[in-house]
Copies of this chain bind each other. A is one copy, B any other.
Amino acid sequence: MGIKAFAPASIGNIGVGFDILGLALERPGDEVIARKSDTPGLRITKITGHQGKLPYEVEKNTAGVAALRLLEHLGETGRGIELEIHKKMPSGSGLGSSAASAAAAVLAVSELLRTGLSKREILPFACAGEAMVSGSFFADNVAPSLLGGIVLVRDNPTIDVHRLHVPRSLYATVVYPHLEVLTKSARAILKPDVSLEAFVRQSANLGGFVVGLFNSDFGLIGRSLTDEVIEPQRAHLIPGFYDVKSAALAQGVLGCSISGSGPSVFALSANSLAAENAGLAMQKAFALHHIESEIFVSVVNQEGAVIC
C-alpha cells in the first residue's frame, strides 16, 4: 500500500517580491508515491515525466534529499521506503518544479509513517531538498507548494514564512513557453546593486501589494504589481516577453511579470474571464515569436500539497 501526495506548481517572486513571495497554483504539479519496503533504506524506484534528467540517487534528487532529511529527523533512516516520482510539470520552467517534488515527497513519507507532524513542521525538510538543487536555501516556492496560498518569506534561514490574505476571485494565469532558463544563470546576470530610488519605489509597491491583498483592493494590487528591479534585467532571456506582457495587460489583468526566474510568464486577474483571455492572448504573442507555449489558469491554491 502506497501513499500518494500531490504538490502544486508555484509562482515565485510574484513580480514585487524577489526571493520573498510565492503563490500556489491549482495545477500543474508533481506526484510522489511512498511505499514501505522490506529492504532497509530510502530508494527511488521510479521516475516518470522526467525527460531523462533526474537522478535516481537519493542524495542527488530533490525529493530524495527532502525525504531523507525528514527520516533523519525522525531517526528512521533504516526504514525501508520506496519513492516513485511522477513529474507532471516541466522543470526549468520557473514554476517551482523541484520545490513541488520536495513538498510532495515529505508529505507522502510523513503520512506513510503516520508522524502526526504538521505541514509547518515538515517544511524545513522540503526546503532542504529544494536547497540541494537550487544551490541555496529559498522557501519562496517550497512554502506555497506545501502550505498553499500566497506566502511571504520574511527570513529563509529560520523559515519565517507567513500566509497572506487572498481576495476571492483572484486568478492566476501562467503561460509556459517551451524554452529553458536555468535558475542559476538567471541569477548570475543580476546586478549586485539596486539604486536607492528603485529600492524605495519597489518597497512601496511590495507594501502596496500586501495591503491590497489584505484589503481585497484590486485597484491597489494592480497599481503595485510592477517590478522595476528584476524584470528589466531578465526580460531579454524570454524572447517576446514585452509583447506577451502587453498582450496580457490589454486583456485587463492586474499585472504581469516573470514567474520565478522564468521563462514562464504570469498574470494576476480579478476574475476568470480576464485570466482566460489573457492566457490566450499571451500564447498568441509567443506564437508570433515562433514559440509554443502552454496555458495554466487557476485560482490561488489554498490547500497546497495534499494526499490523494
Of the residues B155, B210, B223, contact of A210 by C-beta under 8 Å: B210
Closest partner residue, chain B, to A155 (CB atom): B204
Residues of B within 8 A of A193 (CB): 193-196
Which residues of B lie under 8 Å from residue A207 when comparing CB positions?
A: 17, 20-21, 152, 154, 206-207, 210
Instruction: Give the Cβ gap from A148 to chain B, nearest Cβ, in Å.
Output: 16
Write the nearest CB–CB distance from A19 to chain B, whole angstroms. Answer: 5
A208 at the B interface (CB under 8 A): yes
Copy number in this complex?
2
* Cβ contact within 8 Å between A208 and B19: no
B196 near A165 with CB under 8 A, answer: no
**Bound complex: CA A204 to CA B206 (Å):** 9
Q: Which of A194, A215, A223 has the most B CB atoms < 10 Å from its CB?
A: A194
- A198 and B194 CA atoms in complex are apart in Å by 9
Distance between Cα atoms of A154 and B217 in the complex (Å):
13
Quick check: is A224 within 8 A (CB to CB) of the other chain? yes
Known interface pairs A193-B194, A204-B20. Does A162 touch B210 (Cβ–Cβ under 8 Å)?
no
Could you tell me how many residues of chain A have their Cβ less than 8 Å away from some Cβ of chain B?
38
In the bound complex, CA of A224 to CA of B158 (Å)? 13
- Min distance, Cβ A155 to any Cβ of chain B, angstroms: 7
Main secondary structure of the interface of A (DSSP, over half): mixed
Residues of chain B contacted by A154 (CB below 8 angstroms): 204-205, 207-208, 211, 220, 223-224
Contact with B along A1-35 (1 / 0, CB 8 A): 00000000000000001111100000000000000
Given A153-B204, A206-B203, A223-B154, residue A164 in contact with residue B211 (CB < 8 A): yes
Inter-chain contact A17/B203, CB cutoff 8 Å: yes
A39-B220 Cα distance, complex, nearest whole Å: 45
Task: Tell me the bound Cα distance from A154 to B202 in angstroms.
Answer: 9
Residues of B near A21 (CB, < 8 A) are 207
Q: A194-B194, A211-B164 are in contact. Are A155 and B19 (CB under 8 A)?
A: no
Find chain B residues with CB under 8 A from A220 CB.
154, 160, 162
Residues 67-88 of A contacting B (Cβ, < 8 Å): none
Are B194 and A199 neighbours in the complex by a CB distance under 8 Å? yes
Identify which of B155, B190, B199, B215 contacts A223 (C-beta below 8 A): B155
A268 beta carbon closer than 8 Å to chain B: no
**A184 → chain B closest CB, angstroms:** 15
Do A211 and B155 touch (CB < 8 A)? no
Cross-interface CB contact of A152 among B153, B164, B199, B211, cutoff 8 Å: B211
The reply to whether the CB of A273 lies closer than 8 angstroms to some CB of chain B is: no
29 A-B residue pairs with Cβ-Cβ distance under 8 Å, sorted by A, are: A17-B203, A18-B200, A20-B207, A21-B207, A152-B208, A153-B204, A154-B205, A154-B207, A154-B211, A154-B220, A154-B223, A154-B224, A155-B208, A160-B220, A162-B215, A162-B220, A164-B211, A190-B196, A192-B195, A193-B193, A193-B194, A193-B196, A199-B199, A199-B202, A199-B229, A202-B203, A207-B210, A210-B214, A214-B214
